[in-house]
């Protein structure tokens, strides 16, 4: 962070702080040496806090500009949308009760008044150059306790969920689902439901926000942290270092709070620390969305409409999170671009980048996007799916999973097909733990999406775009050619898009490597035809190298994903130019009416290849599939869904198959195997 940036930030913070002080306490008298009387300052500031507590109507009217005055950090002008009906409910509650529902309190402990120790501490702070800063040492609210005030337009979260954080009611007319999300210790309750005046379901974010009465204090903390924490450019751009940056900021914020409010409540401090981390290192309130594991995508279309999110269970939802203006969206896009060494401007209005977490970001700005600046974030799974998850939610059944397990165990190549959003990469990811841990895996992707157990012999590679001068590009083809020199047993390629990529990939199959990849096609027959025709257009002999083709499908009405077909490449019997065309023999197929995956035909090519490579008879092959089904059902019954735990149990299966099968048949605790490796 440059000295120029620091000075700009600090000057902005001081301006905002001066505005807050002027609004709450009027102009303050300065002493001859320019310093303020800290005791008078504190009394005036605390009087403003009490006034804000007692008069929520004023606070609500001022809340229109909370994006500018909230102290959530420069560039963070997000607001939570509230309806007029909800504001009226708050006003009625205030008139009828001294407690009021317009604000909730997070207690931060109590402190004695007027002690000599307090006076000495105050004198020490003056000597250290703290004159005139808003330090809320004594906040007499709600029975004399020192408390940090929190706006609470939300529904109550039980103490076991979020301790002392309180929430009021939402503006939803009907709530269909609710759950909690924590982002860097900042709590939020997510409610999904309907409103009578909306045509789509609403994703309602309920989270505590620091009230106007404490913003000058928060600005003071932010300024101190910026001054005291030294960071390098690498720490901001490296995906591994960003956690180090958060830790440094968090430790410094905690230190400042301990110095200024030594007896404050730990939960209140955690929320303050988390908010500051989001403002200074993250993306403000968007961090709540990024930390919701049930969201797959979030999109900002303009400042004129709320942020939209794609939910795993509900599809597209409209949230109550908005931007103040188009400039704020542009500022966030620019910040993301700077982190990855790129630029977005009117001359270069398109941005394709990745957040440190691995989430893929695409941004467009005016005039290219005529309705407003946009940001689209495709989330990278924090807790990856496993085959057990897929079996439990019906995406695959245990028979098909066991059959594919056998294919991967004995090094058959698998191509996963499907449309956009059908779950191709997710299926590829859940199959990879079936690879024996003794084999070397090289993965090649544009974006790191595959997550394998850490103990596997795995080398992930990712492509790189050219720099602004057009140099330094590393393409998927470059990595694919290079991977063949890395002694791989298995090669995983994110997606086949071009003819040259496909040629190298199929050549790797011919040279004895097991290859796994994805391609866009809706059926097994379409997969074969897409490979044989432009733009991919590979030779028929190469296409025959595909051992197994799994087709994924997204059901659009009920919004779920299923394994649609499991097929093998065979001669179709049709003639073209005097030669028999290649086709697909569908072994398993999904029945949409019954929502079941059923066996359609017997395998010919796959079973013959397994017999050749393993020496097993047809009967032994299917007996092996039965044993694998028992193991999978055992893991389902014990709810073993962690990718590391599933991987360790499968690794133990390869080490001692009879022991694992016996444990499954006796329904013993599978965690005994996991603990053996821990």
Domain assignment present for residue 639? The answer is: no
DSSP state of 33: T
- Written as six digits, the tokens of 356 are 């440190």
CA gap 106, 186 in Å, rounded: 13
Domain assignment present for residue 536? The answer is: yes
Specify the pLDDT at position 69. Answer: 41
Q: Are residues 363 and 414 in the same domain?
A: no
Q: Are residues 235 and 324 in the same domain?
A: yes
Domain assignment present for residue 128? The answer is: no
Domain assignment present for residue 37? The answer is: no
CA gap 403, 399 in Å, rounded: 6
- Residue 484 sits at the vertex; the CA angle it makes with 479 and 490, to the nearest 5 degrees, is 95
Specify the pLDDT at position 594. Answer: 94
Q: Could you tell me if 169 and 275 are in contact, meaning their C-beta atoms sit under 8 angstroms apart? A: no
CA gap 167, 207 in Å, rounded: 8
Strand partners of residue 364:
350, 374
Q: Are residues 369 and 229 in the same domain?
A: yes
In terms of residue numbers, what domain contains 304? 213-378
Specify the pLDDT at position 551. Answer: 98
Domain assignment present for residue 325? The answer is: yes
Q: What is the mean pLDDT of each run of 10 residues along the chain (678 residues)?
A: 45 44 41 43 47 44 41 38 40 42 34 41 43 40 34 39 53 90 89 92 83 68 84 66 81 85 78 83 88 94 96 92 93 86 89 84 94 93 90 97 98 96 93 95 88 90 83 90 94 89 87 92 95 91 93 89 96 58 93 95 94 95 97 97 94 96 96 86
End-to-end Cα separation, the chain, in angstroms: 41
CA gap 480, 467 in Å, rounded: 21
Strand partners of residue 440:
457
Burial class from Cβ neighbours inside 10 Å (0-12, 13-18, 19+) for residue 365 reads: buried
Q: Are residues 433 and 544 in the same domain?
A: yes
Q: Which residues contact 275 (CB under 8 A, 6 or more apart)?
A: 72, 186, 210, 218
The single residue listed with the structure tokens 């999170």 is 321
Report CA torsion sign: 59, 63, 64, 68.
Answer: positive
- Written as six digits, the tokens of 251 are 């430790």
Per-residue model confidence as pLDDT tens digits over 285-303: 899 999 999 999 999 999 9
Q: What CATH number corresponds to the domain at position 488? A: 3.40.50.300
Global pTM?
0.68
Per-residue model confidence as pLDDT tens digits over 585-621: 999 999 999 999 999 999 989 999 999 999 999 999 9
Specify the pLDDT at position 541. Answer: 86
Domain assignment present for residue 364? The answer is: yes
CA gap 637, 630 in Å, rounded: 10
DSSP state of 188: E
Domain assignment present for residue 558? The answer is: yes
DSSP state of 145: B
- State residue 383 phi and psi, 5-degree precision: -120, 95
597, 614, 631 — which closes off a domain? 614
Specify the pLDDT at position 184. Answer: 85
CA gap 68, 62 in Å, rounded: 10
Q: State the DSSP string of 79-128.
A: EE---HHHHHHHHHHHHH-SS-SSEEEEE-----SS-HHHHHHHHHHHHT
Q: Are residues 410 and 366 in the same domain?
A: no
Q: Are residues 430 and 311 in the same domain?
A: no
Q: Could you tell me if 653 and 660 are in contact, meaning their C-beta atoms sit under 8 angstroms apart? A: yes
Q: Could you tell me if 399 and 625 are in contact, meaning their C-beta atoms sit under 8 angstroms apart? A: yes
């Amino acid at each position: 962070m440059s000295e120029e940036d620091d000075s700009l930030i600090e000057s902005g913070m001081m301006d905002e702080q001066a505005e807050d002080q002027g609004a709450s306490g009027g102009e303050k008298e300065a002493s001859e040496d320019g310093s303020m009387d800290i005791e008078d300052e504190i009394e005036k500031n605390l009087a403003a806090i009490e006034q804000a507590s007692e008069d929520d109507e004023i606070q609500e009217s001022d809340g229109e500009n909370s994006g500018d005055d909230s102290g959530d950090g420069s560039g963070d002008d997000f607001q939570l949308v509230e309806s007029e009906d909800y504001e009226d409910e708050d006003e009625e509650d205030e008139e009828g009760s001294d407690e009021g529902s317009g604000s909730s309190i997070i207690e931060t402990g109590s402190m004695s008044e007027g002690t000599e120790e307090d006076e000495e501490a105050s004198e020490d702070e003056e000597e250290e150059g703290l004159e005139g800063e808003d330090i809320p040492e004594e906040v007499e609210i709600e029975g004399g306790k020192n408390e940090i005030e929190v706006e609470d337009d939300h529904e109550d979260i039980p103490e076991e969920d979020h301790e002392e954080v309180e929430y009021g009611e939402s503006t939803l007319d009907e709530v269909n689902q609710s759950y909690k999300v924590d982002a860097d210790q900042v709590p939020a309750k997510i409610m999904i439901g309907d409103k009578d005046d909306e045509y789509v379901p609403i994703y309602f974010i309920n989270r505590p926000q620091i009230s106007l009465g404490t913003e000058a204090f928060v600005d003071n903390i932010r300024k101190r942290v910026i001054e005291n924490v030294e960071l390098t450019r690498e720490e901001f751009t490296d995906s591994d270092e960003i956690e180090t940056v958060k830790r440094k900021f968090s430790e410094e914020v905690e230190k400042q709070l301990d110095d200024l409010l030594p007896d404050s409540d730990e939960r209140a401090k955690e929320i303050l620390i988390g908010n500051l981390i989001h403002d200074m290192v993250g993306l403000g309130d968007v961090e709540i969305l990024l930390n919701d594991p049930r969201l797959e995508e979030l999109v900002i279309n303009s400042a004129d409409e709320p942020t939209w999110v794609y939910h795993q269970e509900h599809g597209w939802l409209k949230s109550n999170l908005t931007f103040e203006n188009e400039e704020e969206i542009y500022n966030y896009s620019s910040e993301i671009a700077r982190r990855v060494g790129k630029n977005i401007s009117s001359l270069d209005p398109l941005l394709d980048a990745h957040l440190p977490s691995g989430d893929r970001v695409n941004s467009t700005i005016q005039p290219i996007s005529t309705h407003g600046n946009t940001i689209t974030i495709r989330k990278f799974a924090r807790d990856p799916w496993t085959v057990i998850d897929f079996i439990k939610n019906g995406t695959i059944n245990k028979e098909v999973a066991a059959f594919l397990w056998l294919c991967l165990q004995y090094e058959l190549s698998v191509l996963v097909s499907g449309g956009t959003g059908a779950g191709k990469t997710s299926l590829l990811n859940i199959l990879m733990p079936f690879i024996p841990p003794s084999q070397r895996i090289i993965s090649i992707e544009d974006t790191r999406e595959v997550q394998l157990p850490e103990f596997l012999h795995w080398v992930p590679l990712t492509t790189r775009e050219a720099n602004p001068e057009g140099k330094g590009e590393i393409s998927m083809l470059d990595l694919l050619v290079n991977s063949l020199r890395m002694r791989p047993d298995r090669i995983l390629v994110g997606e086949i898009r071009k003819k040259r990529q496909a040629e190298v990939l199929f050549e790797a199959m011919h040279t004895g490597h097991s290859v796994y990849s994805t391609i866009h096609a809706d059926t097994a027959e379409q997969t074969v035809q897409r490979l044989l025709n432009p733009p991919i257009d590979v030779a028929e002999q190469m296409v025959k190298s595909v051992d197994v083709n799994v087709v994924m499908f997204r059901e659009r009405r009920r919004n779920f994903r299923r394994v649609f077909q499991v097929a093998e490449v065979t001669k179709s019997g049709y003639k073209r130019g005097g030669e028999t065309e290649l086709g697909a023999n569908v072994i398993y197929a999904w029945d949409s009416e019954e929502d079941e995956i059923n066996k359609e035909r017997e395998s010919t090519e796959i079973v013959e290849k397994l017999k050749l490579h393993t020496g097993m008879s047809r009967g032994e092959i299917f007996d092996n599939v039965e044993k694998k089904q028992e193991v999978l059902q055992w893991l389902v019954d014990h709810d073993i869904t962690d990718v590391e735990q599933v991987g360790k149990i499968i690794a133990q299966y390869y080490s001692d198959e009879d022991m694992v099968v016996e444990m499954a048949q006796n329904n013993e605790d599978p965690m005994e195997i996991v603990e053996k490796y821990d």
